[in-house]
Amino acid sequence: SDLQKQEERGELLQPLIFVLLVLCSVLLYFKVSLMDPGFVKPEEEVKEGENKGQGVVIPQIPGDVKLRRCGYCLVKQPMRAKHCQLCQHCVRRYDHHCPWLENCVGERNHPLFIVYLSVQLVVLLWGGHVAWSGLYFEQSWEWLQHNIFLLVSFLLIFIFTIVVLLLLVSQLYLISCNTTTWEFMSSHRISYLRHSELENPFDQGIILNLWRFFC
């Protein structure tokens, strides 16, 4: 049959990989949006977690900076945590609240968020290539009627690709500096950054920053 011939020529492999990438993207979306981004636990558990490894990831912080108690959920915030008004929780290593995910991006789901963006970018680039390859341009109303769906699809894919690409590049840059979106945008209002002698007291070099983030 035609299907068997296409399989023998390897023509079904690319569509299969594309579908798997789309499925992987959808699963990552639900995983990142539904998982705990790193909500701060009650004070007793926070202290236990800080004793275990907090000093390893937070070097060179001025001694006069004290942990503050959140005015909303009344827990003692670890360093780099922030209260999210939309989630109604304090989030460890808070990066930002993503409206697309309806969830915060924090300590626990930030690496998966980067993986999700990467897979999404590959899907968009592949989809854009497919949409573009299906277009042939003619200056006529009949051509526009027959190709309007592909044209609109390509324009939408192009816009989403630019957005995802810019977001991914900016996230990778901040990760390589070991800083978060919140810290980058609000460093003048954050006590442990405002009182620090260094511009970024968490930066330990690009390689070590990336290693500690992803591994």
Residue numbers annotated as active site: 98
Q: How far apart are CA 183 and CA 194, in angstroms?
A: 11
105: three-class secondary structure by DSSP: strand
CA distance 155 to 178: 35
Residue with tokens 């990760």: 175
How far, in Å, CA of 208 to CA of 178, rounded? 9
User: What are the residue ranges of helices labelled H in the chain?
Assistant: 2-8, 13-34, 43-57, 110-133, 141-176, 181-185, 191-194, 206-214
Of the candidates 61, 99, 41, 103, the one whose C-alpha atom is nearest the C-alpha of residue 190 is: 61
Identify whether the C-beta of residue 95 lies closer than 8 Å to the C-beta of residue 42: no
Distance from C-alpha of 179 to C-alpha of 210, rounded to nearest angstrom: 11
Q: Are 197 and 171 in contact (CB under 8 A)?
A: no
